[in-house]
Amino acid sequence: MSKIETICVQGGYTPRNGEPRQIPIVQSTTFKYDTSEDMAKLFDLEESGYFYTRLQNPTNDYVAKKICEMEGGTAAMLTSSGQAASFFSIFNIAGCGDHVVSSSTIYGGTYNLFAVTMKRMGIEFTFVSPDATEEELDAAFRPNTKAVFGETIANPALAVLDIEKFAKAAHSHGVPLIVDNTFATPVNCRPFEWGADIVTHSTTKYLDGHGAAVGGCIVDSGKFDWMAHADKFPGLCTPDESYHGITYAEKFGKEGAFITKATAQLMRDFGSIQSPQNAFLLNLGLESVHLRIRRHCENALKMAQFLKSDSRVAWVSYCGLEGDKYYELAKKYLPDGSCGVVSFGVKGGRKAAEKFMKHLKIIAIETHVADARSCCLHPASATHRQMTDEELYAAGVSPDLVRLSVGIENADDLIADVKQALDQI
């Protein structure tokens, strides 16, 4: 097995004699066959191959395979966005009348997807604190619970998920743990090594890293035994009449059932495919993510240390900073570094935070994070604005919170920028 740096550069695609060194962009909606029988085998999932880019495309599959290798999984697919990845990861195994347990500290968009849109589809979510005890976690389960969901490092609360604790709770109730690994990246944490079953990504963030392409990814560890809990997962363990009676868990096993069903059913019906062009751009990002994430972490730690030492800053949250609430968990799950995002509060609350941000020169105000270029956001007035104060606190977002995504510029320049903006409050 190659090490992560080698997989980042060379994983997923191995050209044969005379083939392009870089992955080809297969800019084609459709694929040609000699006979109808050949194509029928694809439709029946008897053979793997391509027929229409709404479901699958070779460029996407090269890139999905690389991320799969980075995470140590058995199967993976790209999606059009991180939102589509989160939605598919749940909807693939839960439907109307089902229930999911989720950490409360999750990305605002995911919270909205779960608490509002998927609730309207008849799927009920119970939100639990990432710091919940085993007993509190157990109490959140119901007979119709189908999955547990959390983020390795929560955006923007920066809570570190105790993956082993959440996996244990999920498995003792016969359901998989799905982990959104966007902020940590597989360079810094591979949730499968700690018991997670499915990993999702917004590849829009560090994996692309250049603010160039929106995208998502789902990876399966191949470890969850669907057939052992067949009563809970009829979609995987009983025949799919829309696919000629195929039973995914039987035909594709633990290693392939989840991703095959998500591709054959959900991608077919929802069409949330990533464009091959974007997959190509994503792959360029993947080739350097192992270098970039190191610099992000170095710069973020320097920034967090500076903020901590400045009297105008009310509080700092960075799980890589000694003394942080999540420092010990970060040491366990993220020993090589956590991420480039630092949260802090400016003394003077919401008003002071807005004034501070207005005076930044290098660091830009954006709804984006995890980009080579430093940027920052005030979630209470942007991404999380539809949430009540109560919901904000439950999601780990106080009204004065500034989320600073530290880029890979020179750390001294970034700190000087923050310093001069603080001077002007």
Ligand X SMILES: *Cc1c(COP(=O)(O)O)cnc(C)c1O
Stretch that binds ligand X, among 93-101, 197-205, 390-398, 404-412 (CB under 6 A): 197-205
Taking CB under 6 A as the rule, does residue 216 contact ligand X? yes
Q: What SS3 state is found at 77?
A: strand
Q: Are 181 and 199 in contact (CB under 8 A)?
A: yes
User: Within positions 307 to 336, which residues make up the interface with ligand X, using CB under 6 A?
Assistant: none
Rounded Cα distance between 147 and 178, Å, is 7
Q: Verify binding: residue 82, ligand X, rule CB under 6 A.
A: yes
Shortest CB 85 distance to ligand X, Å: 7
- The residue whose Cβ lies closest to ligand X is 82
> Cα dihedral sign for 6, 9, 12, 15?
negative
Identify which range of 201-209, 268-276, 352-360, 393-401 contacts ligand X by CB under 6 A.
201-209
Q: DSSP characters for 256-274?
A: HHHHHHIIIIIIHHH--PP
In the complex, least distance from residue 259 CB atom to ligand X, rounded to whole angstroms: 19
In the complex with ligand X, the residue whose CB is nearer, 81 or 103, is: 81
CA atoms 314, 110, 357, 302: torsion sign = positive
Instruction: Using the minimum distance from each CB to ligand X, give the nearer residue, 114 or 183.
Output: 183
Closer to ligand X by Cβ: residue 109 or 211: 109
From 57, 74, 83, 185, residue interacting with ligand X (rule: CB under 6 A): 83
Sign of CA dihedral 137, 72, 321, 293: negative
Of the candidate residues 89, 92, 188, 202, the single one contacting ligand X (CB under 6 A): 202
Give the interface size with ligand X as a residue count (CB under 6 A).
Answer: 17
Q: Per CB under 6 A, which of residues 22..81 are in contact with ligand X?
A: 81
Sheet holding 99-103, edge to edge: 75-79, 216-220, 198-202, 177-180, 145-151, 99-103, 124-128
> Per rule CB under 6 A, is residue 204 in the interface with ligand X?
yes
Taking CB under 6 A as the criterion, which residues in 140-159 touch ligand X? Answer: 151, 155
Residue 195, sorted as left (phi over 0), alpha (psi -120 to 50) or beta, turns out to be left
Name which of 102 and 155 has its Cβ closer to ligand X: 155
Surface-to-core class of residue 73, CB atoms within 10 Å of its CB (0-12 exposed, 13-18 middle, 19+ buried): buried
Q: Least distance (Å) from ligand X to the CB of residue 183?
A: 6
Query: Contacting ligand X (CB under 6 A), which of 182, 299, 343, 405?
Result: 182
- Tally DSSP H helices, then E strands, for the chain: 19, 12
- Can you give the three-state secondary structure of 348-393, one letter per residue? CHHHHHHHHHHCCCCCEECCCCCCCCCEEECHHHCCCCCCCHHHHH
User: Among 20-28, 48-56, 177-185, 232-240, which window interacts with ligand X (CB under 6 A)?
Assistant: 177-185
Is 340 near ligand X (CB under 6 A)? Answer: no
Select the residue interacting with ligand X from 69, 98, 180, 400 (CB under 6 A). Answer: 180
**Beta partners for residue 99, in sequence order:** 124, 145
Q: Which residues, in sequence order, are bridge partners of residue 317?
A: 343
Peptide bond into 58 cis (omega under 30): no
| Contact set for ligand X, span 99-128 (CB under 6 A) | 107, 109-110
Q: How far is the CB of 409 from ligand X (least distance, A)?
A: 21
Binders of ligand X among residues 272 to 301 (CB under 6 A) are none
Q: In angstroms, what is the minimal distance from the CB of 422 to ligand X?
A: 26
How big is the chain, counted in residues? 425
- Residue closer to ligand X by CB (options 183, 233) is 183
Residue 205 is a binding residue for ligand X (CB under 6 A): yes
Report the first-to-last Cα separation within the chain, whole angstroms.
53
Between residues 202 and 247, which has the closer beta carbon with respect to ligand X? 202
Residue 178: other Cβ atoms inside 10 A: 26
d(CA 162, CA 131): 8
Task: Tell the smallest beta-carbon distance from residue 182 to ligand X (Å).
Answer: 4
Q: Which residues bind ligand X (CB under 6 A)?
A: 81-83, 86, 107, 109-110, 151, 155, 180, 182-183, 202, 204-205, 214, 216
